[in-house]
Structure 1
Amino acid sequence: MAYAAYVFDAYGTLFDVHAAVRRHAEAIGPDGQLLSEIWRAKQLEYSWTRALMGEWRDFWTLTGEALDHAFERVPSADKGLRGELMDAYFKLDCYPEVPAVLKALKATGARVAILSNGSVPMLESAVSNAALDTVIDDVFSVDPLQTFKTAPAVYDMVTTAYRLYPDAVSFQSSNRWDVAGATKFGFRTVWINRARMPDEYRDLSPSLILPDLNGVA
């Protein structure tokens, strides 16, 4: 089935969230992977906590706070690398298959968009750095809503902007919780299970599970 719009989560789906630490792996040392994992986990936790409290801070601010916490948890990592790591996160690499997949979907005549917790400057920088400007039609950031996924209002940004019913939208995310939220909203969902994680939220199953974006259609 063809869909009117293919909408992608950004971080972990299009852009590699661990690329920033890998870029400075030698300077960080042997605990780099641990630092990166804590950084990502806390970034997400802070977004959920802030959303539930109704106490808004944009995703870039939370990303910095999460990195500070990660440094506290991993004392072997040099805190002096904070600036370099934040700059690297601002210019994350995309996964290898991303440009070709998005180009192929755009060639079908469907809209291709991003729907992300990321702040507008973060997303614009990532898209530009990965040279995806010509294949992405729209970037939807949660900034205007001042909340985060999985709030239904976030997914509704797409259907409102495109004047579509939810089932006309195919939504792709590597985050299982995000897929659950989008499924509940009514999107057709594809879980990009890059980390080969076990399934969760079995009452809110995706339509399709893939190891990467190849095969999205």
Structure 2
Amino acid sequence: MTFDPDPVTTVTFDSYGTLVDVEAVERALADHVAEPEPVSTLWRSRSLAYTYVANHVDAYKPFYDINRDALEYALAAHDVDLDESARETILEQYHDLDVFDDVRDGIERLRDGGYDCYVLSNGNPAMLDSLVEAAEIGDVIEDTISADEISTFKPDSAVYRHAAARTGTPVEETAHVAAGWFDVLGSMHAGNQAVWVDRKGSPWDGFAGDPDLTIETLDELAEALGV
């Protein structure tokens, strides 16, 4: 599909991997684990898998709790035995992730161009509060919208419809920006225009369609919207 800027009035942004770098958790793991990279990779993949499954087996938990369960599994799978205090210290890194350099300026540019900007995330409200504070974007976004508000995770269409209701914007007038392929596809299925943030030059998995727009930085989205 081709990105059409004309109907867009609202932009929603995913959080983890889109605005903040989840790979920063490896530093927290490195203080406790000899080989943090494989543990971190499994932790992230298992966390996402739990959200997918939770939508279908009535096993919803706030995302922070999902992350805790996934961390415990990843550590066990790599035969790492840490006490509860150490696990919680690692988990708390999700409240202090690195912000991508283009985030503040990119969102501010969109806001100044007349677009209402929101964060739409699986993260529960406390996690999103920490993210907004760390990214210093509280003054340039309208609000955060959490999947926790409806106890359903992305990529379920209900999350994007809920965002449309919260923003007062029809889904077709919303551009959703995400680094996660599943989030891009979920937003497309719900009727959003989908913008894929590809910061690493990764190949797109097009088994269920292509993004309306692919960008490397948020400034490229501002350019596509003519601001």
The normalised TM-score by structure 2 is 0.88
Please give the alpha-carbon distance, in whole angstroms, between the structure 2 residues aligned to 1:56 and 1:78: 26
Q: Distance in 1 between the 2:71 and 2:208 partners?
A: 33
| Equivalent residue for 2:148, pick from 128, 143, 150 | 143
Equivalent position SS for 1:75 = coil
Q: 1:143 is paired with a residue of what secondary structure?
A: helix
Structure 1 residues 207-216 or 108-117, which shifts more? 207-216
2:39 aligned residue: 35
Residue in structure 1 matched with residue 133 of structure 2 by the alignment? 128
- Structure 1 distance, partners of 2:81, 2:219, is 35
Query: What SS does the aligned partner of 2:99 have?
Result: coil
State the secondary structure of the residue aligned to 1:216.
helix
Give secondary structure in 1 for the equivalent of 2:21.
coil
Alignment-derived partner of residue 7 in structure 1: 12
In the other structure, the counterpart of 2:90 is 85
- Per the TM alignment, residue 71 of structure 1 is displaced from its structure 2 partner at its CA by 0.9
Q: Tell me the equivalent position of 2:56.
A: 52
Aligned mates of 1:74, 1:97 — CA distance in 2 = 35
SS of equivalent residue, structure 1 residue 18: helix
Alignment of 1:1-217 (within 5 A): 1=5, 3-23=8-28, 25=30, 27-75=31-79, 78=82, 81-217=86-222
Q: Paired residues, what number?
A: 216
Percent of aligned positions with the same letter in both sequences?
27
Describe the SS at the equivalent of 1:209: strand
**Alignment TM-score, normalising by the size of structure 1:** 0.91
SS in structure 1 of the partner of residue 218 of structure 2: coil
Structure 2: which 5+ runs fail to align?
A: 223-227
CA displacement at 1:173 relative to structure 2: 0.4
Deviation (angstroms), 1:132: 1.6
* 3-state DSSP of counterpart to 1:112: strand
Q: CA deviation at 1:47?
A: 0.6
More moved, 158-167 vs 50-59: 158-167
- The CA deviation at 1:37 is 0.8
Query: Counterpart of 1:14 in structure 2: which amino acid?
Result: L
Contact in 2 for aligned 1:113/1:138 (Cα 8 Å): yes
Label 1:78 to 1:190 Cα distance change in 2 as closer, same or farther (>3 A). same
Task: Give the RMSD, CA atoms, in angstroms.
Answer: 1.8
Cα distance change on mapping 1:187 and 1:30 into 2, 3 Å: same
How far off its partner does 1:204 sit? 2.4
Q: Is the CA contact (8 Å cut-off) linking 1:31 and 1:74 kept in structure 2?
A: no
Distance 2:198 2:81 in 1: 29
Q: Deviations over 1:9-41 (max 9, x none)?
A: 11111111111222453x245511111111110
